[in-house]
A and B are shown apart, each in its own frame.
Chain A
Amino acid sequence: MTLTHLQQQLADIAGQGTQPFAGFAQQINDIVAQAQAGEMTAAETTEILADAQRQLSILEDMSELRLKEQLNIILTGLITLAAAV
């Protein structure tokens, strides 16, 4: 597992174009490039990458909640229809 290999994997995900993950992969590749250019310390880079994991966790939780909301809208619609008959 080399940095080049990991960057290539990120580029592959970014290239697939599936949002929001493609944009997310591109952001991470940009962060790695900035770290390589010496714009951040190793500790800062580690913290920013940990933030990326936290963002993924937020995306996962919010996707689940969004599905529930859609289901709730359908249920409310069905109940309204049932009550009207």
Chain B
Amino acid sequence: MKTLVACVLVFLLPGCALYDAYMQTGFDNNEYLLITQIRVDAQAYRRQCGNHLFAAANSQAIANKTDLFEKYSQRIPRNDQGYRASRSLNEIAQGLASSYADANQPPSAVFCRLKYTSIENSAAVIQTVVGDRPR
């Protein structure tokens, strides 16, 4: 039976795909917690976009957290797609933080809300996949 299963696997699947799938990164509590925090923060911060004082501080806070998530993902072995996604998410958040750099010209509330929507949606997509990792 073992030989049969091994033969089926070898003939049905390309070697690299088989290896990648079997050796993929397992579930990581910290990674899952971080992406969940980013999602929850984005939801809460979106509601404060109308207040420029809060919004500027919030944008820095979310940018710090996505930066942490990117750097945490970077050194996880066999995590190329996860790292790329964390980098894209961080780029979205850094763009928001840098838009508040000039205190005399704060971004519009619509821009702020759309940014947090992008962060929240992306975090939800990543969270689903991170949560489904093999345990």
Q: Tell me the A residues contacting B by CB distance below 8 Å.
A: 20, 27, 31, 34, 39-41, 44, 47-48, 50-52, 54-55, 57-59, 61-62, 64-66, 68-69, 71-73, 75-76, 78-79, 81-83, 85
Known: A62-B81, A69-B132, A71-B21. A51 touches B126 (CB 8 A): no
Distance (whole angstroms) from the CB of B83 to the closest CB of chain A: 9
Interface residues of B in 59-96 (CB under 8 A from A): 81-82, 84-85, 88-89, 91-92, 95
Q: A48–B118 contact, CB under 8 A?
A: yes
25 A-B residue pairs with Cβ-Cβ distance under 8 Å, sorted by A, are A27-B117, A40-B108, A40-B114, A47-B99, A51-B114, A54-B88, A54-B92, A57-B84, A57-B85, A58-B88, A59-B125, A61-B82, A62-B81, A65-B129, A66-B132, A68-B24, A71-B13, A71-B21, A72-B21, A72-B134, A82-B2, A82-B4, A82-B6, A83-B2, A85-B1
Cα A58 to Cα B86 in complex, Å, equals: 8
Residues of chain B lying within 8 A (CB to CB) of residue A83: 2
Q: B108–A39 contact, CB under 8 A?
A: yes
Cα A78 to Cα B96 in complex, Å, equals: 46
Residues of chain B lying within 8 A (CB to CB) of residue A47: 95, 99, 111, 115
Q: Tell me the B residues contacting A by CB distance below 8 Å.
A: 1-2, 4-6, 8-9, 13, 17-18, 20-22, 24, 81-82, 84-85, 88-89, 91-92, 95, 99, 107-108, 110-111, 114-115, 117-118, 121-122, 125-126, 128-129, 132-134
Q: Which of B20, B95, B122 contacts A55 (CB 8 A)?
A: B122
